Structure 1
Amino acid sequence: MLDLMRLFGQVVEEQSFTVVARRLGISQPAVSNQMRALEEKLGVKLLYRKGKGFALTSEGEVVYRHAKHILEEWSELMREIGGSERLMNGKVHIGASHIPGEYLLPIYLASFRKMYPEIMFKLSIGDSLEMAEKVLAHEVDFAVVGAVFDTEKLASQFWLKDELECVVSCDHPGWNQNIDLNTLKEYPVIIRETGSGHRRAFEEALAERGLDLQDFNIALEVGSTEAVKNAVRAGLGYSFLSKHALEFCEKQGLVWTNVKDLYIERGFYLLTRRNKPLTLIADECYRFLVTQKPHGIIPK
């Protein structure tokens, strides 16, 4: 019965059978059948069609109000008796931009799964804007991105700091280890695609100095950090990369170089739908990530 009430609450909050079915990985008819089963158990009609959607009957409003209270009390009960781990199973679908998705989250999710081995994760990786859109479309539970998206429907919580620094191939001839920003404009540069938090941070840092990407010699625009690294390693040009992606850059055929008067800093943020509660397991995972801090990155 608790599962039926939980499903009913999700349908009401999302206002969509399709969205709930997608999130749970089941068919829309399966959700409809479960709602009918709940109505039969209670002996009342909970929903009725209204235009292209649906609305709650007066009985449905009463059931929804009590269902929320019952589920909240049940979760609190399980937490107090140390039984929340028995509820911690199922799937958490997380969206992530490239740096947190490829270099940070796998480590933290492994630690989290040691506490709750019944949980399965799905990790979708793309640029920050794409992940924000997935959060809005209910395609992921929450996301970790490299840009702020505080809107009417999205909420961002700061997670940790990132720094971008200039990298060049170890074999690059005559590269100055303490180069001037204006001199950089003469060399070919590799940049990330529009929509990435990485590119946004780079553009904002340039704008503060009265510069624009069009002032630079753009050789290549790519959609992933690994593609940037490979292009730099091949000698196609220099780029700016996250320190999280290059802990031992010399071993990867790359070297850091200092750019005078240019410091690029950004944050990684946990992104959720505003005023939309996460599932129990997604919320537990979110709270776990909030408490985690990376090693090896020292704030300036």
Structure 2
Amino acid sequence: MNWNLIKLQIIELLDKYKRITTVAEHLGLKQPTVSFHMKSMEQDLGVSLFYSKAGKVHLTEAGQSLNHYAKKINALAQEAERVVKEFDERGSGHLKIGASYVPGTYVLPSILSAFSKKFPHISISLTVRTSPVIQEMLLNHEIDIGVMSAEPFQWAPLIGETLCEDELVFFFNPQHRMSRYESLHPEFLKDVPFILHGQESSTRTMTLKWAKSMGIELRPIMEMDSLEAIKQAVLTGDSISVISKMAIAKELQREELVYRAIPQNPFKRYIYFTYNEDRIRSSVFDSFFDYLRDSVRSY
């Protein structure tokens, strides 16, 4: 069976764009060449991989199964090229970084800007998603590095190195009645309007685990996916919520918000530098890790 990366790229791109002409443009090929490779794959495997509907090309169930592996192989090939280039004697290279929302929004932007000035030959792309999505991207070799807020974990083949604690706190506006207490008792929170984070949020998961461990039932009045939306709702209302202390650093400095520690909280969350153990650590990779670790110490 004669397989090459072009065929696997065609599978992945057809699933994304559904048009042979678009795939041909992306790969710099002629349309008949793409069609030839499609027929060749079906002949080699002895199954139908594609079908046409409403002027678009779709993958059959067998095609979808092949695409699952095509994505992984294509990503590995791209990673291999990037990693080899990182050993360039000029210290150049490209790093694809994925981050969960707290480090991706409130920690990394200033660090990446300063890093780029110090290492101008290293280009960086940043993708911000939830921690589970970042983990999946690392497993599929879609990114080189993950920077995530998470509870302690063991996700072989992922390796996580702790950067710092990501402390979760209750927060509210300075006029809120809770602000008169130096510390909060779990019972205080039973009847307070509460804003929950979205379904996929690790903050939501830890908040509900804490409430269950305390034997109390929160009174959620809203659910929001956006950290900034939650902050604005708390700033202008009488609700409270849980958030990373890093995410409200500027508002605390300006005395627009106040916070209190979560009482009797056994659950800890940390920011991790995470990578797939199959990923070779080059000098470019280590330069970024060392710079990130030194920078995060100030938080």
- Name the TM-score class by shorter chain: 0.5 to 0.7
State the alpha-carbon separation in 2 of the partners of residues 157 and 282 from structure 1.
14
Aligned with residue 154 of structure 1, among 130, 144, 158: 158
Q: What percent identity do the matched residue pairs reach?
A: 24
1:1-300 matched pairs, under 5 angstroms: 18=9, 29=27, 75=87, 84=89, 86-89=90-93, 91-147=94-150, 148-173=152-177, 175-177=179-181, 178-211=183-216, 215-235=217-237, 237-250=239-252, 251=254, 253-258=256-261, 260-262=263-265, 265-277=268-280, 281-295=284-298, 297=299
- SS, match of residue 231 in structure 2: helix
How far apart are residue 98 of structure 1 and its match?
Answer: 1.3
Q: Deviations over 1:52-74 (max 9, x none)?
A: 689xxxxxxxxxxxx99xx69x9
1:44 match: none
Q: Secondary structure at the match of 1:233?
A: helix
C-alpha contact (below 8 Å) 2:166/2:270 kept by paired residues:
yes
Deviation at 1:117, TM superposition (A): 0.7
| Contact 2:179 2:258 (8 Å CA) reproduced | no
Greater Cα shift, 105-114 or 197-206: 197-206
In 2: Cα distance, 1:258 partner to 1:284 partner: 35
Could you state the TM-score of these two structures normalised by the residue count of structure 2?
Answer: 0.65
Between the two proteins, the alignment pairs up a number of residues equal to 238
Shift in alpha-carbon separation, 1:112–1:209, aligned structure 2, 3 A: same
Change (3 A) 1:18 1:208: farther
Say whether the 8 Å CA contact 2:172–2:238 is kept in structure 1.
no
Partners of 2:91 and 2:122 within 8 A in 1:
no
- CA separation of 1:221/1:17 partners in 2, compared to 1, >3 Å: closer, same or farther? same
CA distance in 2, matches of 1:131, 1:227: 22
| Change beyond 3 A, Cα 1:174–1:182 | closer
Post-superposition offset of 1:201: 3.1
Distance verdict in 2 for CA 1:287–1:200, change over 3 Å? farther
Q: Quickly say closer, same or farther: Cα 1:255–1:263, change in 2 above 3 A.
A: farther
CA distance in 2, matches of 1:270, 1:120: 18
> Which consecutive residues of structure 1, in runs of 5 or more, have no partner in the other structure?
1-11, 32-48, 55-66, 79-83
Residue 105 of structure 1 deviates from its aligned partner by: 1.0
**Local SS of the residue matching 2:279:** coil
RMSD between aligned residues: 3.9
TM-score in terms of structure 1 length = 0.64
Q: AA paired with 2:227? A: T
1:20-53 Cα distance to aligned partner (Å, 9 max, x none): x99xxxx98479xxxxxxxxxxxxxxxxx98568
Shift of 1:262: 4.0
- Measure how far apart 1:166 and its partner are: 1.1
Q: Shift in Å at residue 17 of structure 1?
A: 5.3
In 2, the alpha carbon distance for the partners of 1:18 and 1:200 equals 38
* 1:116-162 deviation line (CA, Å, top 9, x unaligned): 11222221112211222222233322211111553234222222112
Q: Which amino acid aligns with 1:105?
A: L
Does the C-alpha gap of structure 1 residues 272 and 210 become closer, same or farther in structure 2, counting only changes over 3 Å? farther
Return closer, same or farther for 1:225/1:281 CA change in 2, 3 Å cut-off.
same
- Cα distance, 1:274 vs structure 2: 3.1
Asked if 1 retains the 8 angstrom alpha-carbon contact of 2:91 and 2:121, the reply is: no
